[in-house]
Amino acid sequence: MRVSPALLLSLLSLTGGCAHQATTSNTSPPALRLYALDCGRIDIHDMGFFTDGSHPNGQKGEMSGPCFLIRHPQGALLWDTGLDDVISRSPDGVTDAVGFRVHVQKTLHAQLAQLGLKPSDVRYVGFSHLHADHAGNANAFTGSTWLLQRKELAWATATPAPPGVDPTKFSTWREAKVEPLEGDRDVFGDGSVRILSTPGHTPGHQSLQVNLPRTGTVVLSGDLCHTRENWERHVVPGFNTSREQTLSSIDHVETLVKDAKGRFIVQHAPEDFRALPSFPGYLE
């Protein structure tokens, strides 16, 4: 049977269209994803604690305590481990060593399980610093590589422990694979996830830069800044270990974010946390 040129062209067009649709439907999502996990809440009895120089003002407030999971083709990185999951057993929360009321409604373990992960599946754990609200579940990750500034580990393991540090929360650090850092670190070697040395809040404080294919550059603060005002007005609380280093670190990150036209996430700011995709949603 002879097929007319017009019919042949029509058949080829249909075949090509079906192939394109099949290719489109099977396209894999971007390999790099950033998840924001709810790892606790902190009730603040006096927000003056976080003003410049830490002057009491009697104003009550609330801070978020998130963790972040970055999924990468080379493995998962958990940024901060939040408040201790054990706190979830107390429905009304507990009072921490600083006098704040802390709450955990969703455990870190349960949220990782929603993503099909166990602590042993996490390749890297990066700690912005070792205060108890950022390292509360550290001991669950002895099979992971801990990314810490060398100065931070030395400071946090000193005797007596510095204020805000609970050594029992990360007591397994000798069993874990600790990679002591001396400055910035390109975690996966491809520029997508970079630890930024940002000392000042603590001697070895660090922040995290994630360069997402669709969203662009996102920088996670750690405690470089505690509130949006701290970030926008370069406010330094009196309890930081170095005012000079804090201001220098803020200037450095501010320049980086501006140059990259990126987004800066103040981890403790509830408004920043709420603006992120609700878990298990993600940025990509």
pLDDT in tens, 188-229: 999 999 999 999 999 999 999 999 999 999 999 999 999 999
> What pLDDT does 7 receive?
37
Which residues on adjacent β-strands are paired with residue 206? 197
Q: Supply the pTM of this predicted model.
A: 0.89
> Which of 43, 131, 116 is CA-nearest to residue 82?
131
> What pLDDT does 97 receive?
85
Is the pLDDT at 18 greater than 90? The verdict is: no
Using alpha carbons, list the distances in angstroms from residue 231 to 36, 76, 161.
20, 28, 28
Query: Rounded to an integer, what distance in angstroms lies between the CA atom of residue 253 and that of residue 13?
Result: 52
Q: What is the mean pLDDT of residues 255-260?
A: 98
Residue 34 identity:
L
Q: Check: CATH 3.30.565.10 for 29-274?
A: no
Query: Rounded to an integer, what distance in angstroms lies between the CA atom of residue 78 and that of residue 234?
Result: 27
Q: What is the mean pLDDT of residues 135-152?
A: 98
| Structure confidence at residue 30 as a pLDDT band (50, 70, 90) | low
Domain borders along the chain are 29-274
